[in-house]
Amino acid sequence: MTTVAEQLVRRLKERGVRFVFGVPSGSWLYYMEAMRKEGLEFVLVSNEASAGFMADVTARLTGIPGVCYGTVGPGASNLSTGVVNALLDRSPVLALSSEPPEKMIGRTVQMAIDQQAFFRPITKLTTRLTAERIDQILAQALRVATAEAPGPVHIGLPEDLGSRSIPDAPSSFFAPSWPRMASINPADEALLSTMERVFQGSRRPLIALGLSAVRAKAGALVAQIAEKHGIPVVLTPMAKGMLVEDHPWYAGVLFHALSDRVAETNRQADLVVSVGYDPVEFNFEDWMPEVPLLHLDTVEADIDRTVYREVYDIVGDITASLKRLAAATPIASGWDKAALIQRKTAMFKAMEPPPGSFGPRAALAILRELLPADGIMACDVGAHTHLIGQMWKTPAPGLQLMTNGCSSMGFGVPAAMAAKLCHPERKVACVTGDGSFLMMAGEMAVARRRKLSVVFVVLADESLDLIRLKQDRKDFPRYRTELHHEPCPTAKYVFGVPVIRADDAAQYRAALVEAFKAEGPVIVEAHIDASEYDDLIQRKHK
């Protein structure tokens, strides 16, 4: 005989799961003990939201669905922030939570809420585990989580279930691999022929590369098409790394810093070819000129068709559609390649820090110089994110981690910790604002306890600068965006993690060099001049 907890943990391990993130409860102890015996690591975090973020990032970096846990009521509600992130950033995650026993469902119970109802709108599926159907329920959860578009599934664990004895089951458990793009059929031949006809009829097509293209591993094909046909490529922020910034047809990132420069290219297009474009990052209407759209994806385009009347949904395997364009006769491109390169060069030049300055540009430029090419940088949400989206050189997908579908403050710190757990051999850094750091400062105790060598760069400007900037743009008085009424003294340690303060570029460089040599986490508190954001972060541009 075995227990429900042992069976569930064994199946997770068979699937390749290495970590489960969360905060324990009494009923969870049976699962923790099973993990201890099986060698599946339970990572104790300070806040369940971090558990969800870490499960999300683990899935992105390993290709294996992430797993997180929260207890009844408040544990589950804390966990939900990370679960929402996985939903809107398209990551397959299993969110486990304790629930009252079956006989107490509908009764008044301490801490308890209807967690099936609670998780339903923020997951692809929510269900409850039973002793009789462990394998069936887990296999269904993994299939749903990894199916396009991937996302979280919630499994409720009745509190009296983990210790229950059940017969041993044979190890025949099977679950699909992820990503599952390869299992999607090509688009119909009629659609592919239409795609070729529309494409061949254009002279200035523009490729817009999105989040789903990352899962399709479409970067090499897109580069081939751009080079053969002479087409510029713009990216959404979460597609960074799919085309390197020094590629001659790279034209920039939509909607981040200096987006007005990128919009100069957008406006010249007579056709947009969207490749795996997921509007969860930015709606088409917010940037796309009113021209025909070829939408290469696994789902139809979410676009206002009363405005955009010529939309061609090439629904099917993304790479199969791209191969047809790669094999097509080169178009007579009307793009001025030299002008595009000049525009991009000028844009990157504008992102260079002025001599002697110590603003966000200098902080990011020096970090990019010192972080190895294969190092991983996780960033939080804030004004600095807009600069990172445009100026951070990203050699490959997965080397720059951000949330742009959900855009939850607090993401950066746990994301960097998860990256270090998944890739302990690599250098890992986190860039966060002081506002976001305040949300996740407790995770420093986790980083120290697990001796995670992560460099946490806190851009300290003592304000919620992105909101302050929006207030300024609306001619509103600045109100309640300051984090301190007077300068806050620098601590020597945060939950045992050493802090190095930097007030200028030279101090900052020295602090990073020291931090990257350390064995264990280090916080670099960079007191920057935030006024640079005002001219670099633009309004929406079409």
* 108 pLDDT higher than 90: no
Say whether both 145 and 195 belong to one domain: no
Instruction: Evaluate if residue 416 carries a pLDDT over 70.
Output: yes
Q: 233-235 and 205-209 as β-strands: parallel, antiparallel, unpaired? A: parallel
Hey, what are 209's tokens? 């590369």
Length of the chain: 542
N-terminal to C-terminal alpha carbon distance within the chain: 64
Alpha-carbon span 113 to 99, nearest angstrom: 8
**Whether residue 413 sits in one domain with residue 397:** yes
Quote the strand ranges of 276-336, DSSP E.
Answer: 293-297, 311-315
Per-residue pLDDT, 318? 97
The per-residue pLDDT for range 1-58, each reduced to its tens digit, is 899 999 999 999 999 999 999 999 999 999 999 999 999 999 999 999 999 999 999 9
> Which of 178, 213, 232 is the last residue in one of the domains?
178
Helix 412-422, helix 48-62: angle, nearest 10: 50
HSE-CB of 185 using CA atoms within 13 angstroms = 4
DSSP 136: H
Same domain, 115 and 153: yes
Q: Are residues 233 and 264 in the same domain?
A: yes
In a domain? residue 227:
yes
Task: Give the pLDDT score at 490.
Answer: 80
| In-domain check, residue 448 | yes
| C-beta separation of 361 from 531 below 8 A | no
Instruction: Find where tokens 């950066």 sit.
Output: 412
In this structure, what CATH number is given to the domain that contains residue 187? 3.40.50.1220
What's the whole-number mean pLDDT along residues 113-117? 92
Over 60: is that where the pLDDT of 541 sits?
no
Find the helix packing angle between 4-14 and 29-38, rounded to 10°. Answer: 50
Q: Are 55 and 197 contained in the same domain?
A: no
Is 188 part of any domain?
A: yes
Structure confidence at residue 173 (pLDDT):
66
Residue at 278 is within a domain: yes
Distance of CA 158 to the CA centre of its chain: 31
Give the DSSP H/E element, type plus range, for residue 513: helix 505-517
Do 232 and 142 sit in the same domain of this protein?
Answer: no
pLDDT at res. 542: 57
Strand, helix or coil for residue 16: coil
Same domain, 276 and 313: yes
In a domain, 541, yes or no: no
Tokens 């079409």 correspond to what residue? 542
Q: DSSP letter at 463?
A: B
User: Are residues 110 and 186 part of one domain?
Assistant: no
Q: Which of 464 and 391 is assigned the larger pLDDT? A: 391
Number of domains present in the structure of the chain: 3
Q: 102 vs 49, which has greater pLDDT?
A: 49
Instruction: Quickly tell me which residue has 């990203």 as its tokens.
Output: 394
Q: What is the Cα–Cα distance from 309 to 291, expressed in whole angstroms?
A: 9
Please check whether residue 542 lies inside any domain of the structure: no
- For a pLDDT cut of 90, what percent of the chain falls above it? 84
364 and 532 Cβ atoms separated by less than 8 Å: no
Burial class (CB in 10 A: 0-12, 13-18, 19+), 227: middle
What is the per-residue pLDDT for 281? 96
Same domain (yes/no): 305, 402: no
- Could you tell me the two tokens for 160? 């009296």
Q: 257 and 357: one domain?
A: no
Q: Which two tokens stand for residue 171?
A: 């190890």
* Beta bridge partner(s), residue 457: 431, 524
pLDDT, one tens digit per residue, over 441-488 is 999 999 999 999 999 999 988 767 677 777 877 888 876 677 676 667
Mean pLDDT of 409-416: 97
Percentage above 70 pLDDT, the chain: 96
Residue 539: predicted pLDDT: 55
User: Are residue 248 and residue 119 in the same domain, yes or no?
Assistant: no
pLDDT of residue 443: 97
The predicted model gives 280-304 an average pLDDT of 96
Domain final residue, candidates 302, 322, 344:
344
Q: Specify the CATH number for the domain of residue 490.
A: 3.40.50.970
Query: Of 323, 344, 365, which marks where a domain is finished?
Result: 344
CB contact at 8 A, 57 and 416: no
Q: 520 lies in a domain?
A: yes
pLDDT bucket at 423, cuts 50 / 70 / 90: very high
User: What is the extent of the structural domain holding 25?
Assistant: 2-178
- Domain check: are 339 and 368 in the same one? no
Q: Which two tokens stand for residue 300?
A: 């139809």
